[in-house]
Structure 1
Amino acid sequence: MGVIEHEIGHALGLWHEQSRPDALGYVTIERDFILPSYISDFLQRDDEIDTLGIPYDLGSVMHYGSTAFSVDQKSKTVVTRDSLYQQTIGQREKLSFYDVATINTAYCKDECKTEKTKCEYGGYMRPSKCSECLCPDGLGGERCEKNEEPRSGFFVVCSLYSLLLPEAECGGVISLTDEWTTVESPNYPDPGYEADQKCSWLLKSPKGKRVEIEFIEDFSFLCTSTCVDFVELKISDDLRNTGFRFCCYDKPEISFVSQTDTAIVIFRSQLSADIGFKIQIRSTDAEARTTIAPTIITTTSESTVLGYRNPYFSVAPITVDTPNVWADWGEWSQCSRTCGGGRRQEFGTCNLKACPVDKHCAKLLSNNRLCNGKVCTKNDISISSCDAPQCCPPFQNVDGMCQSDQDAQHDELWLSI
């Protein structure tokens, strides 16, 4: 459905989110890994897009995912500046709250001018019925004052009849104290959650305090590059915007502290059944902690931005003791990679001999087990071929030498038009 909504969004005037004039404040576009025919889909449209004052939304249905139009379907073409959003971008479930708000602002902004319906937490009056509120994801009630009602979907058997699954027993409004309390996904940890469930919790600390959240015990969701089954944390001062979405098997190891006295936790499953999550929550006086602590950024031709490194170049670094700041780029260096396909100049390549087999490959493959019931271990496609000589994207191993298939794929696309 989200794909259809994405295309209808274009018909209504929505651009790709990563084309907004302010996009580079939130994402980095890796042009080297994009199929040439699709470069234009990633360009900023400074003079063509009117954002209507709507904030950038990494959870927009109009946003591309991490590997959109990648030359090898694995290399990231869109990298979020905040690494915790990397698996949020690219969702195709539905229009986000801000997607709908953009359309309503463009077409219906004057519909409720004379009405006085009050909506909480950033909700606003529904243009087609001003006595009702449109609420941010995770919120519900007549005035967006409480959590969204839980949902369960239909389970289809042999396409002959449908069984309505029991409503998920989860969600609520929780008034926090200094003592820890716990929240968990439905039926955690055994038998675990089912497909097509949604629950949300509205967490409220006393005025002047914040919400602290920490993941505990087992954690496991269907693992996809864009989270389809996930737990989402909305802990910024804007509860309208999409939060961090976590999936796969690596439990977040840091604790989070909201920017205000209110936070939202959303659980969503679309496709699978698995363990889910468990968190402990409490009220706190601690400073806001809404993302991974930034590291010292080393920025030159070998750059590090929020943990993302460009491995192709190596020169003496410039160190900037400030998060989210780029230093001046250094001169292009000689190719520093000894194998796998490096770069001597911006478009030159060197050292194209494939790298040796990873000495850790055997252990990785032994750990890459198939799912056993509802508990899945890591199943990363990227290690499935680690026992063969490797090349750096966008190069591929051809008889022991690293070759780029960029030109070949470009020609094939043109021939198919």
Structure 2
Amino acid sequence: MSFLLIAFVCLLLHLPPAHSVHIKHSARLDTRLWRTLLGQRLAGYRKPAEEAGVEGAFESDMRLTSQQMTDILHQQQQNQQASLGASLLPAGVGGEGGGRGGRLKRKAVAHHSYLWPSRTVPYVFQHDFPEPYRETVLEAMQFWQRSTCVKFVPFSQSITEYLRHADYVLFRVGEGCQSSIGRVGLGEQTTEIASHCNEFGSVAHELGHILGFYHEQSRPDRDNHVTILRENIRSGRQHNFLKYSTSEIVTEEPYDIGSVMHYGPTYFSRDGGSRTIDTQDESYRAVMGQRNAPSFIDVKTANDMYTCNAQCDVWPECDNMGYVGPDCTCMCPTGLGGYDCTEVKSSTGDCGGVLKSTSGTIESPGYGNGNVYDSNIDCLWLIQGPFDTRSISLKMDGFELEDDTIQPCAFDWLEVRSLGPHLNGQRFCGEGPSDGVVYHGNTLVIHFHSDDSYTFSGFRLHYDVTKTSQSQPAMAHDDGLHGLDSHYAYTVPQSPAPEAKTASPEYHSPPQEAKAAQHTTEDPPQYHVPEAADFTTDAAASSDQVPSYSVETGGSLTHWTEWSPCSRLCDGGQRSRIRACRVAYCYDNQFEERPCNTHPCDVTDLGSGYDYYSEEE
């Protein structure tokens, strides 16, 4: 023990301060020992909290109806997935499929009856649902509401009359996190939140289920991107790794390893540490199972599923895999912006920008001469080649970033979006990639990130743009794509938006031909996947109603109804009013609530109703 104490003291004497530690070029890149001794944050396998599971839930957190379960397993039997075998299916399920019919769309339900009518999800908090849980749920609701056309509104009699159905989501405390998939249609459906999963990312995941999302790793094309290591799966849990067939999921969006709906590498591991899901390319491990926020593709899928741009008369042409969002402007991949997604987000250091030359050098701030990069840096580069670009090749001239033996690239990393601007890319750290990287497309996003502690010498890379008329530059290895299919890469401007295939009968699909784009002097809001810390609960979000975001719609709305009676006699109730939309969709608020009877209850108030909160069961 004394030897360990002496060693610890000696290490402290030779270490710079804990924050912004500058380590010489020859220092070790793995900082796990130092972080352990100094009690700093350590990296580990990403283990989303909802993976802990609830007994009886499908894939650990999905509460399926008997018909949903029957449809999934019946289709598995029809497709003769003999490798799993009938003995692996949960007892008491099976039989003929049917029910509401319809396929799972992308990674979500396709049939209209599982989508929420009028893009509105009524909800209720059980009376004993703790305030910290409410704040987290409202944060997650605010994210989905801000990024899509879906609205979350407190359940009441007036909203029932307006929507013409009495379905709603009850949030209550449970042993874990679990949700139903989409709108079940049986009145009350429950979503449970537990203390260990009361965090923004996990709750956003559960709200994804409520909107109609299934898990990403269940897609039929998952074996092209991840490997299921069945020998490491806990006994009796193999059925949680079913791969849905192409008749259940239409893979119109690319597989998204960085989806908030994707599980981490140790899901149902036999010993808690062995990998059960692994990426085909280890450079994508760092993003699998992330719970910072829904990804760009997650949000796009929700907008497509609920036809959020159906009311747009003018469709701008969005480059770099952006798309037309609910406000009829381009929603851009993370880090990109501008009217048509051709601009790059400002960097936090002396770095970044749009590069249009056919060759050049990119380096971390301060690279060379024994310098180290600064902490808390985010640099974004957009290499924009001409339209006849065949590929963009990268060659590292020097590379030293902080590393970790357990979870590489958890702290400092260089991201190369080699699957396209819209998807999470390869992340390199330590001594960087062993070979060059080749991207088959004309637009490549590169992102360098450093955290708040240890820094090293950084990196320098050289890039070359090869046109279709040129021969491919020689690289140290093969094309460096690690099995990448070139169809993922963005090479030409996005074509006019096709007719949405998931539109409900009461919705109007977007026009077949895109109309002429009308430029504006203001940039549209760009999509941004923030860290959980970026979200704050302001005064508006402290109540049980999600703040609304709307624009004026002229005469497309009726007049407001009268305010409803107060829902409580004391201790704070709610009044509500509604108005109807005369057109296919209105962005302005159609439902409002305000507080009433905020005085404390006394003996004369006992027995007052709980119309706004659910009574204890």
Q: From the superposition, tell whether residues 140 and 199 of structure 1 become closer, same or farther in structure 2 (CA, over 3 Å).
A: farther
- 2:271 maps to what in 1? 72
- 2:455 maps to what in 1? 274
- 2:415 maps to what in 1? 232
Check conservation: 1:231, 1:268, Cα contact below 8 A.
yes
Tell me, what secondary structure is at the counterpart of 2:286? coil
Q: From the superposition, tell whether residues 204 and 272 of structure 1 become closer, same or farther in structure 2 (CA, over 3 Å).
A: same
Tell me, what secondary structure is at the counterpart of 1:282? strand
Check conservation: 1:257, 1:288, Cα contact below 8 A.
no
Residue 98 of structure 1: CA displacement? 0.8
Tell me, what secondary structure is at the counterpart of 1:67? coil
Tell me, what secondary structure is at the counterpart of 1:86? helix
Which one of 218, 223, 230 corresponds to residue 19 of structure 1? Answer: 218
Check conservation: 1:52, 1:105, Cα contact below 8 A.
no
- 1:198 maps to what in 2? 378
* Mapping of residues 101-116 of structure 1, within 5 Å: 101-116=300-315
Using the size of structure 2 for normalisation, the TM-score is: 0.40
- Distance in 1 between the 2:477 and 2:305 partners? 36
Check conservation: 1:254, 1:292, Cα contact below 8 A.
yes
2:230 is aligned with 1:28: no
Check conservation: 2:308, 2:325, Cα contact below 8 A.
no
- Distance in 2 between the 1:79 and 1:4 partners? 24
Check conservation: 2:394, 2:462, Cα contact below 8 A.
yes
- Distance in 1 between the 2:334 and 2:432 partners? 23
Residue 141 of structure 1: CA displacement? 1.7
* Mapping of residues 136-155 of structure 1, within 5 Å: 136-150=333-347
Q: From the superposition, tell whether residues 228 and 271 of structure 1 become closer, same or farther in structure 2 (CA, over 3 Å).
A: farther
2:460 is aligned with 1:261: no
Residue 241 of structure 1: CA displacement? 2.3
Which one of 243, 249, 253 corresponds to residue 54 of structure 1? Answer: 253
| Amino acid in structure 2 at the alignment position of 1:199 | C
- Distance in 1 between the 2:349 and 2:282 partners? 31
- Distance in 2 between the 1:289 and 1:242 partners? 26
* Mapping of residues 363-402 of structure 1, within 5 Å: none
Q: From the superposition, tell whether residues 226 and 102 of structure 1 become closer, same or farther in structure 2 (CA, over 3 Å).
A: farther
- Distance in 2 between the 1:169 and 1:38 partners? 50
- Distance in 2 between the 1:244 and 1:206 partners? 23
| Amino acid in structure 2 at the alignment position of 1:86 | R
- Distance in 2 between the 1:287 and 1:102 partners? 35
Greater share of helix: 2
- Distance in 2 between the 1:16 and 1:280 partners? 38
- 1:42 maps to what in 2? 241
- 2:431 maps to what in 1? 250
Q: From the superposition, tell whether residues 188 and 111 of structure 1 become closer, same or farther in structure 2 (CA, over 3 Å).
A: farther
Residue 288 of structure 1: CA displacement? 9.0
- 1:100 maps to what in 2? 299
Q: From the superposition, tell whether residues 52 and 142 of structure 1 become closer, same or farther in structure 2 (CA, over 3 Å).
A: same
* Mapping of residues 175-190 of structure 1, within 5 Å: 175-178=356-359, 181-188=360-367, 190=371
| Amino acid in structure 1 at the alignment position of 2:202 | V
Tell me, what secondary structure is at the counterpart of 1:278? strand
Residue 13 of structure 1: CA displacement? 2.0
Q: From the superposition, tell whether residues 90 and 142 of structure 1 become closer, same or farther in structure 2 (CA, over 3 Å).
A: same
Q: From the superposition, tell whether residues 44 and 254 of structure 1 become closer, same or farther in structure 2 (CA, over 3 Å).
A: same
| Amino acid in structure 1 at the alignment position of 2:363 | E
> Which of the pair has the greater relative contact order for Cα pairs under 8 Å at 6+ separation?
2
| Identity score, percent | 34
Tell me, what secondary structure is at the counterpart of 1:265? strand
Deviates more, 1:281-290 or 1:21-30: 281-290
Residue 38 of structure 1: CA displacement? 4.5
Check conservation: 2:320, 2:443, Cα contact below 8 A.
no
Residue 35 of structure 1: CA displacement? 2.3
2:415 is aligned with 1:218: no
Residue 57 of structure 1: CA displacement? 1.1
- Distance in 1 between the 2:259 and 2:250 partners? 13
- Distance in 1 between the 2:459 and 2:209 partners? 36
Residue 105 of structure 1: CA displacement? 1.0
Check conservation: 2:286, 2:410, Cα contact below 8 A.
no
* Deviation per residue, 1:72-128 (Å, 9 max, x gap): 34322112234443334222222211111111111234434422222111111221x
Check conservation: 2:219, 2:251, Cα contact below 8 A.
no
Check conservation: 1:89, 1:226, Cα contact below 8 A.
no
| Amino acid in structure 1 at the alignment position of 2:285 | Q
Q: From the superposition, tell whether residues 76 and 149 of structure 1 become closer, same or farther in structure 2 (CA, over 3 Å).
A: same
2:316 is aligned with 1:117: yes
- Distance in 2 between the 1:31 and 1:9 partners? 27
Check conservation: 2:278, 2:285, Cα contact below 8 A.
yes
Check conservation: 1:60, 1:98, Cα contact below 8 A.
yes
* Mapping of residues 328-407 of structure 1, within 5 Å: none
* Deviation per residue, 1:311-332 (Å, 9 max, x gap): xxxxxxxxxxxx9xxxxxxxxx
Tell me, what secondary structure is at the counterpart of 1:2? helix
| Amino acid in structure 2 at the alignment position of 1:278 | R
Check conservation: 1:228, 1:270, Cα contact below 8 A.
no
Residue 172 of structure 1: CA displacement? 0.3
Q: From the superposition, tell whether residues 278 and 70 of structure 1 become closer, same or farther in structure 2 (CA, over 3 Å).
A: farther
- Distance in 2 between the 1:269 and 1:232 partners? 11
- Distance in 2 between the 1:39 and 1:289 partners? 45
Tell me, what secondary structure is at the counterpart of 1:108? coil
Which one of 311, 332, 349 corresponds to residue 168 of structure 1? Answer: 349
Q: From the superposition, tell whether residues 287 and 148 of structure 1 become closer, same or farther in structure 2 (CA, over 3 Å).
A: same
Residue 174 of structure 1: CA displacement? 0.6
Residue 145 of structure 1: CA displacement? 0.8
Structure 1: 5+ residue runs without aligned partners? 151-166, 296-305, 308-322, 324-417
- Distance in 1 between the 2:212 and 2:418 partners? 30
Residue 134 of structure 1: CA displacement? 0.9
Q: From the superposition, tell whether residues 4 and 215 of structure 1 become closer, same or farther in structure 2 (CA, over 3 Å).
A: farther
Give the number of equivalent residue pairs. Answer: 275
* Deviation per residue, 1:226-282 (Å, 9 max, x gap): 64342111234x4322221223x1321211222022211112345644234332222
Structure 2: 5+ residue runs without aligned partners? 1-199, 486-617
Which one of 277, 284, 291 corresponds to residue 85 of structure 1? Answer: 284
- Distance in 1 between the 2:213 and 2:475 partners? 29
Check conservation: 2:436, 2:476, Cα contact below 8 A.
no
- 1:7 maps to what in 2? 206
Tell me, what secondary structure is at the counterpart of 1:231? strand
Tell me, what secondary structure is at the counterpart of 1:5? helix
Q: From the superposition, tell whether residues 262 and 38 of structure 1 become closer, same or farther in structure 2 (CA, over 3 Å).
A: same
